[in-house]
Chains A and B, each alone.
Chain A
Amino acid sequence: AQSVSQHNHHVILSEAASLELGCNYSYGGTVNLFWYVQYPGQHLQLLLKYFSGDPLVKGIKGFEAEFIKSKFSFNLRKPSVQWSDTAEYFCAVNARNYGQNFVFGPGTRLSVLP
């Protein structure tokens, strides 16, 4: 079965610390990869996406992610977090051989302390 795992359930950082959130998926074929963010009380918003090409993709608000095909990973990074980055982060995968739906990871809650 298709699955997406996220390494951490809850991450707590101080402002200006660097962030890396892990995401691994279990598909053998071609995939599209996404990171979505859900700020408190708001709807899911797209942070960044990878379809093909350069495996290092840049998104909004200073976030970036690196696709490592050999490791089936798509980790999210930010060099310096802000209090406003406090949110739930979801990795999602669309495996082209499996149809049109997205499979989401369980999410990682990020708390940034001022």
Chain B
Amino acid sequence: DAGVTQSPTHLIKTRGQQVTLRCSPKSGHDTVSWYQQALGQGPQFIFQYYEEEERQRGNFPDRFSGHQFPNYSSELNVNALLLGDSALYLCASSLQGATDTQYFGPGTRLTVL
């Protein structure tokens, strides 16, 4: 039973560029949430997808957008990258968008130069 997987593992971009991160949820899960974890801090909620729609959004600008596919996998897109976007981006999956346990992937380390 595969857990949550994310790709790529590491990514280096320059300011102004755009990036796409990918996530496959744990088998049987239909809800994907994205978090940003800056160095030395706890994860901050970006948004959550269920039934291919954004259900809830945290306090992040519109430069952050996402998508969920029919197979429940998800993408996080960040446009016009800023130095402050450098962080570990975590994907978490759960069932049905309910207040259930979230299972986290290993994350994608994004460095913006």
Contact = CB atoms under 8 A, between A and B. Distances in A.
Nearest to A43: B106
A106 B38 CA distance: 10
Nearest to B106: A43
Nearest to A32: B99
B12 interface: no
A46 B103 contact: yes
Contacts of A103: 45
Given A43-B105, A43-B106, A96 B41 contact: no
B45 A102 contact: yes
A100 B106 contact: no
Interface in B52-94: 55-56, 58, 90, 92
Contacts of B40: 107
Contacts of A25: none
Nearest to A91: B42
B25 interface: no
Contacts of A102: 33, 35, 43, 45, 92, 102
Interface of B: 31, 33, 35, 40-45, 48, 50, 55-56, 58, 90, 92, 97-99, 101-107
Interface of A: 4, 32, 34, 36, 42-46, 49, 51, 90, 92, 94, 96, 99-107
25 contacts: A34-B101, A36-B104, A43-B90, A43-B107, A44-B43, A45-B104, A46-B101, A51-B99, A90-B42, A90-B43, A100-B31, A100-B33, A100-B48, A100-B55, A100-B56, A101-B33, A101-B45, A102-B43, A103-B45, A104-B42, A104-B43, A104-B44, A106-B42, A107-B41, A107-B42
